[in-house]
């Protein structure tokens, strides 16, 4: 676990961002973040702008469950080589490349189908989500394997910086393009941006790892290797953590429940409040982007200085609190000043919490099973929130935005409690340095 090093100077701590592999995560983060909003909140803005009901929009959130079940094919990404590609690019880079290809194809298909046929559009979005989730598995494995655990906070912060840049492009950028052109053009432009990810894959080095590959040099031994690849990552985690593994998994499941559950209704909320697509892009996306980066950068430094648990606690409290600000905003007349204040708090806390959580999850993995174990954690991280957000439109239509955001805030309380429980558990075990207390 990342416990921090209080003896390091602030100059030494900040210099972590100058490491080449830390810098490289900026571009991989962009590749990972670009498709997310395009099947999530940007898609909901498109649908709402075209007059689709909020109840129907809410159910589109279930496409995001694809990200939450990627653990089922993570062993394949972890161990199975791709003919031709793996020999050329390596295990991690080849799967990232295949994911990028699927994303680009899916986005182009979405742009051609549009909201005229919601069923076909949903299947196109599903292709994007599946390809994106596959790319995420490989990128997460690369990130964890590329550097020592000490630098995972900086790796996650840089990754989130790139991820947020992509969210800026897929959020504000897509809204601007939809305002001045149309939604079809916006999605085609987003597909073109994937070239940045492709170039990155071609330039970075494959991290070293001595894992066995399935179907490689001994085809007759693929079955026992496959069983080992699928079963061992899960058994190793439970053996290493004992019964407390269940508490860890519960914590992972609830940490992001609050913000994921409310996220699907953010853009419909802004539109229903009366803000234009340009105003949403300017404040919620562009201005919010800088607040997210600030939160991520501060947390990346503090993880090195304080350790991950204190940062997790700060993030959990902040995320739950900012949802109540949205509840208050729903009672006010639409003013950009109030929107900017709420967006600032929300994105600052979200960037901080996400960075701490990624660093925490990275420290949980055994590097012999990097892709599979991290996929388990990140899948569990999003599954409850994605499932619950599918009903968000029904809650808004029946109870209104104030009740919806208030309930979302209450969903953050279990995460706060469990951070304290886990922190105390590791302190008792002696795994935490005094600086993390």
Among residues 55, 27, 61, which one has the least CA distance to residue 41? 61
Give dist(CA 306, CA 309) in Å, integer: 8
CA 226 to chain centre: 28
- CA nearest neighbour of 73 among 289, 263, 230, 222: 230
Contacts of 235 (CB under 8 A, 6+ apart): none
Q: Name the nearest CA neighbour of 261 among 58, 76, 83.
A: 58
Q: b/e string for 368-381 if b means 16 or more Cβ within 10 A? A: ebbbbbbbbbbbbb
What pLDDT score does 189 carry?
95
Other C-beta atoms closer than 10 Å to the C-beta of 331 total 9
8 A C-beta contact, residue 6 and residue 436: no
Helix (H) or strand (E) holding 119: helix 118-146
Neighbouring C-alpha atoms within 13 Å toward the C-beta of 146: 26
Q: What distances in angstroms separate CA 378 from CA 8, 256, 361, 371, 372, one per listed residue? A: 31, 10, 8, 10, 10
Distance, CA of 120 to chain centre: 26
Residue 315 lies in a domain: yes
Q: How far apart are CA 118 and CA 383, in angstroms?
A: 23
Q: Which residue has the tokens 């330039």?
A: 203
Give the span between the Cα atoms of 78 and 213, in whole angstroms: 8
Regarding pTM above 0.75, the answer is no
Is the Cα dihedral 387, 389, 392, 395 positive or negative? positive
Question: Is residue 5 in a domain?
Answer: no
Task: State how far the Cα of 146 lies from the Cα of 21, in Å rounded to an integer.
Answer: 7
Identify whether 8 is part of a domain: no
Model pLDDT, residue 436: 42
Rounded Cα distance, 362 and 141, in Å: 9
Q: How many whole angstroms separate alpha carbon 163 and alpha carbon 409?
A: 24
Please report where in the chains the tokens 């075209």 appear, as a residue.
50
User: Residue 148 sits in a domain of what CATH number?
Assistant: 1.20.1250.20
**Does any domain span residue 390?**
yes
3-state secondary structure at position 90: coil
State the pLDDT at residue 13: 62
pLDDT in tens, the chain (437 residues): 445 555 566 666 667 677 777 788 888 999 999 998 898 888 988 888 888 887 888 787 788 788 878 878 888 888 788 888 988 888 888 999 999 999 999 999 999 998 888 989 999 999 999 999 999 989 988 887 876 666 666 777 788 788 888 988 998 889 889 988 889 999 999 999 999 889 888 888 887 765 555 444 455 555 666 666 677 778 888 888 888 989 999 999 888 888 887 777 888 888 888 888 888 888 877 788 888 888 888 888 888 778 888 899 999 999 888 889 999 998 888 888 888 888 888 889 988 998 888 888 878 877 777 767 777 787 787 778 777 777 788 888 888 889 989 988 899 999 999 999 998 888 877 654 433 43
407 domain-assigned: yes
- Report if residue 13 sits inside a domain: no
Specify the pLDDT at position 165: 87
Q: Has residue 27 been placed in a domain?
A: yes
- Inter-residue contact 413 to 320 (CB < 8 Å): yes
Q: Nearest Cα to 358, choosing from 168, 139, 200?
A: 139
Angle at 11 between CA 6 and CA 16, to 5 degrees: 85
Domain count along the chain: 1
Confidence (pLDDT) at 215: 47
Rounded CA separation 266/13 (Å):
36
Range of the domain at 146: 19-436
Task: Tell whether 3 is covered by a domain.
Answer: no
Q: Which two tokens stand for residue 354?
A: 């996400």
Spell out the residues 6+ positions from residue 102 whose beta carbon is closer than 8 angstroms to its own.
127, 128, 130, 131, 132, 134
């Amino acid at each position: 676990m990342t416990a921090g090093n209080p003896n390091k100077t602030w100059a030494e701590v900040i210099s972590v961002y100058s490491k080449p592999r830390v810098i490289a995560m900026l571009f991989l983060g962009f590749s990972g973040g670009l498709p997310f909003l395009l099947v999530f909140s940007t898609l909901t803005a498109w649908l709402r702008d075209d007059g689709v009901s909020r109840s129907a929009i809410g159910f589109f959130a279930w496409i995001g469950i694809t990200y939450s079940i990627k653990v089922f094919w993570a062993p394949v990404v972890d161990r199975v080589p791709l003919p031709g590609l793996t020999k050329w690019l390596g295990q991690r880079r080849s799967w990232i490349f295949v994911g990028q290809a699927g994303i680009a194809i899916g986005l182009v298909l979405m742009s051609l189908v549009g909201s005229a046929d919601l069923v076909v559009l949903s299947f196109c979005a599903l292709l994007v989500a599946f390809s994106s989730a596959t790319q995420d598995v490989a990128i997460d494995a690369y990130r964890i394997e590329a550097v020592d655990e000490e630098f995972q906070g900086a790796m996650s912060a840089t990754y989130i910086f790139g991820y947020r840049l992509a969210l800026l492009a897929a959020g504000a950028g897509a809204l601007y393009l939809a305002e001045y052109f149309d939604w079809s053009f916006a999605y085609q432009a987003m597909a073109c941006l994937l070239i940045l990810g492709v170039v990155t894959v071609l330039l970075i080095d494959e991290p070293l790892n001595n894992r066995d590959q399935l179907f490689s040099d001994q085809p007759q031994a693929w079955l026992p290797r496959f069983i080992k690849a699928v079963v061992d990552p899960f058994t190793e985690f439970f053996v290493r953590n004992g019964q407390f593994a269940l508490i860890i998994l519960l914590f992972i499941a609830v940490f992001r429940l609050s913000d994921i559950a409310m996220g699907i209704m953010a853009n419909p909320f802004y539109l229903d409040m009366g803000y234009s697509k340009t105003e949403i892009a300017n404040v919620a996306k562009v201005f919010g982007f800088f607040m997210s980066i600030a939160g991520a950068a501060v947390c990346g430094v503090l993880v090195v200085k304080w350790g991950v648990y204190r940062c997790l606690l700060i993030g959990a409290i902040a995320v739950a609190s900012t949802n109540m600000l949205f509840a208050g905003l729903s009672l006010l007349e639409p003013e950009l000043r109030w929107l900017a204040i709420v967006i600032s708090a929300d994105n600052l806390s979200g960037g901080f919490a996400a960075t701490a959580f990624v660093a925490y999850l990275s420290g949980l993995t055994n590097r012999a099973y990097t892709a599979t174990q991290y996929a388990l954690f990140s899948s569990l991280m999003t599954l409850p929130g994605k499932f619950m957000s599918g009903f968000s439109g029904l809650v808004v239509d029946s109870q209104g935005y104030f009740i919806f955001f208030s309930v979302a805030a209450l969903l953050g309380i279990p995460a706060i409690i469990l951070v304290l429980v886990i922190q105390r558990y590791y302190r008792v075990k002696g795994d935490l340095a005094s600086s993390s207390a």
